[in-house]
Amino acid sequence: MLGNTGALDAKTIRIKAPLTPRSPAIAKPRTAPTAKAMPPRASTKEHLRGLETKAFSESKAVPGVSLFAIVGTVVVTVLMVFVVLAQISYNEAANEAVRLNTELRQLSEQHRTLELTFESSFDIREIERIAKDELGMSHPDRTQVYTIASTPRDTAIVVIGEEDTSSQGFVDFLRSLTDYFRR
């Protein structure tokens, strides 16, 4: 038994298994096993090969992934990317709008400041001095000032000659209509 160290057979393994002590009163006589009761065991290598093939043949069925699930995942991923890109674009546009509103407020304030500076730059006394001294102007005297008194309903009729104004008025009316529709 010790000489054959290569492969151990089933009998050798059984013999080397630890034995439990039995009391002599309870011990049963050993009888040789019959051929019908115990089938012959195969060698350990054959036994392991049988277990391997059994393990491979009885492997658990792994649930497969359907094509619909893959396509759905891809579509959802693409849509999520588009949503993120749209959100980025929206944020950029909102930031640009805020920047432009700030710039508009600054320019409006600058416009008001420049307008006030421009209006305050007109000094009426300085304008009068330049008109008198440099340009030689003077205040009008009484002979140059005319006062006209009119009633609230003032009308004027201008006559440019003795032409037939009825046909000319119609032509002017048509000309004014064509000018109006040309614009």
More reliable by pLDDT, 121 or 162? 121
Tell me: the pLDDT tens digits for 37-71?
555 555 777 766 766 666 555 556 667 888 999 99
User: Cα angle at 182 between 179 and 183, to 5 degrees?
Assistant: 95
